[in-house]
Amino acid sequence: MHRLYQDALSKFALLKSIGIEPHEGQRTVLAAPERFKVVVAGTRFGKSHLGGQWATCWLFEAHPPTRGWIVGPTYEDGEFEFRYLWDWLVSPGKLRFKRANYNAKGGDMQLVTDWGSELTVKSAEHPKGLGGEELDYVIMAEAGTTNKRIWERSVYGRLSNRQGEALITGTPRGSDYYIELFNNGQGAKPDWKSWRFPTGANPYFPREEIETAKRNLTPEMYDEQFEGRFAQFEGLVYKEFNREKHVGEPLLVRQNGKIVSFKQIIAGVDWGYTNPCAIVVMGIDGDDNVVVLDEWYHTEQSQAQKVAAAKALRDKWEVSHFYCDPESPDDIAAFMRSGLKASQGITEVRRGIEIVRQKLRKEADGKKGFVMSARCVNGKREFGAYMYAMSRTGAKKEDKFTGDQHFLDALRYALTSVDRSRRITVRTSG
């Protein structure tokens, strides 16, 4: 299908006609023919400005009209791109609209042109609003802090029928998912292209501010926020976790067919259906070191299937007790009716996080306080992507988190429950 404003020269001519001059880095992305474009960039490179430029070109299409979304982790994140279109097109009256709503607090941001092209801001916090429509294009704003399943289950399929395109932008947050998308565009997949731009690629950003940031920030934070490099993010909840140190195959000792390496073997359970249900099995030895032995991690599983999975894990690992998310008492009751020893787990988030962090930090007499089997692929992924939510100014929100946490919640329920009698100093930062 021929689109009037989708080749590079037409895009640049259109944008110039309404007073927009993309800088060189933005022009590079706009000119790329690939369907899926991933931009990893330092702060103030102009990611939101780029998204607004790209959406403008789609909004002007009329034969046929187009439909697009801006998807952010929150409505606030998606507002930035939308605000540019509002300032460029709506406020000065450069385009006629049948509908032009701008209510960020109410989550109602939408433009519909007289010829039917439309753009709507969506929030990943409200996945039920991400269904139904076929899309010509989507902008994934601040993609590094958006749940992987939002892209895979809620967005990607909306592009298929119309062979739609995606612009995926953000500041690197170190998540495995975002790195995976970036790597797609580094030759891993033919329809993808990715770029890394430092803040300095924006010719309008003051050079002296870059030098000031280099002096005032930690090297890791500077690399991430100003060089656009994936680094160990300051907001990572479990920044003590190291794959080389904490992932490996534990040596199990058996006597008469029984595992005798641990004083107890327990499991944590985080319920889910659309989201994954996670069962995490762990052994605790006489020094209170933790060895994570196995995980069961699946979506769309019936109650009977969850019971069957728990029984199989009990028989395989001699699990003595299942500590479960108390949000689903019916599932806990089903476990108990089937003969499994199960109860509500302790859900104190900060306390549980600190217990896990203490285990990760511990190392005495050559023994680590925490080891996880390499078979726990979802555990490895979640440890590397579970972060404190960050404000636009870079401030950490201590009680809000981003990234999958189903494995980690199950782990936390179990360890907090068996450690409940111990005095844990809960840290609020660090």
Cα separation, 322 vs 332, whole angstroms: 9
Q: d(Cα 119, Cα 111) in Å, to the nearest integer? A: 5
Q: Which CATH class is domain 243-418?
A: alpha beta
Q: For residue range 228-262, what is the model confidence (pLDDT) as tens digits?
A: 877 655 577 888 888 778 988 887 888 888 888 89
Contact, 256 vs 284, CB < 8 A?
Answer: no
Q: Of the candidates 175, 335, 353, which has an alpha carbon nearest to the alpha carbon of residue 267?
A: 335
Q: Cα(75)–Cα(104) distance, rounded to whole angstroms?
A: 6
* pLDDT tens, position by position, 76-94: 889 999 999 999 999 998 8
Task: Name the class of domain 8-227.
Answer: alpha beta
pLDDT tens readout for residues 377-388: 889 888 877 888
Nearest CA to 62 out of 110, 133, 14 is that of 14
Q: Where in the chain is the domain with CATH 3.40.50.300?
A: 8-227
Q: Where in the chain is the domain with CATH 3.30.420.280?
A: 243-418
CA 413-395-37 angle, 5° bins? 90
What does the pLDDT look like over 136-170, one tens digit per residue? 999 999 888 787 788 888 899 999 999 999 999 99
